[in-house]
């Protein structure tokens, strides 16, 4: 892979995920956000991982673990299996396989990620955060709805 190729595999980095990483443009779809997050892992751009996670989850992220995960693996290839941009009005999901090398052997991380759209921006819903949210609290995505009626089913 050339230095100029985007880690997500769609083209040249400066035309693909770089404008998103630099904040010059925003992801137009859940899939595009997913791709740009994969590329951010490959580029060790953990600030981008942070700011593209649901607003109410950002403070609960274990940034040390994220930096570690990004740096301890070599990110080889992204394979988007399928994307569903509209599970409902403001949620989408993307099934993907991230191919990486952990230093000992090649690995595949197969995941179905969920995303929420809030104020025209897509955010990742992290199912792994160690956070106590009750069903009656306001949702982590910022929608103003109760958690139960919004993102609860996706995290």
The residue (of 65 and 82) whose beta carbon lies closer to Zn ion is: 82
Q: Does 139 bind Zn ion (CB under 5 A)?
A: yes
Question: What is the number of other CB atoms lying within 10 angstroms of the CB of residue 47?
Answer: 12
Segment near Zn ion (CB under 5 A); pick from 22-30, 39-47, 65-73, 102-110: 39-47
Of 39 and 129, the one with the shorter C-beta distance to Zn ion is: 39
> Residue 8 or residue 46: which is nearer to Zn ion going by CB?
8
Residue 50, class by beta-carbon neighbours within 10 Å (0-12 exposed, 13-18 middle, 19+ buried)? Answer: middle
Q: Which stretch binds Zn ion (CB under 5 A): 12-20, 41-49, 74-82, 130-138?
A: 12-20
Of the candidate residues 33, 46, 98, 141, the single one contacting Zn ion (CB under 5 A): 141
Single out the segment in contact with Zn ion by CB under 5 A; choices: 40-48, 67-75, 103-111, 131-139: 131-139
Binding Zn ion (rule: CB under 5 A), the pick from 92, 150, 154, 155 is 150
Kindly list the distances between the CA atom of residue 16 and the CA atoms of 5, 13, 41, in Å, as whole numbers in the listed order. Answer: 9, 5, 15
- Count the Cβ atoms, other than its own, within 10 Å of residue 2: 6
CA separation for the pair 46, 31 (Å, rounded) = 19
20 binds Zn ion (CB under 5 A): no
Distances (CA, A) of 82 to 10, 35, 55, 112, 132: 15, 12, 25, 9, 31
- Residues in contact with Zn ion by CB under 5 A are 6, 8, 10, 16-17, 39, 139, 141, 143, 150-151
């Amino acid at each position: 892979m050339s230095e100029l190729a985007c880690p997500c595999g769609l083209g040249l980095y400066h035309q693909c995920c770089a404008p998103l990483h630099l904040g010059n443009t925003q992801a137009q779809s859940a899939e595009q956000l997913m791709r740009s997050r994969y590329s951010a892992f490959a580029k060790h751009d953990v600030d981008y991982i942070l700011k593209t996670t649901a607003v109410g989850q950002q403070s609960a992220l274990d940034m040390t673990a994220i930096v570690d995960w990004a740096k301890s693996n070599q990110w080889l290839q992204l394979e988007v299996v399928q994307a569903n941009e509209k599970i409902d009005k403001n949620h989408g999901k993307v099934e993907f396989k991230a191919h990486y090398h952990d230093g000992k052997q090649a690995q595949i991380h197969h995941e179905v990620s969920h995303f929420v759209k809030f104020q025209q921006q897509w955010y990742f819903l992290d199912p792994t955060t160690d956070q106590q949210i009750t069903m009656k609290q306001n949702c982590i995505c910022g929608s103003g709805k109760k958690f139960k009626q919004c993102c609860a089913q996706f995290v």
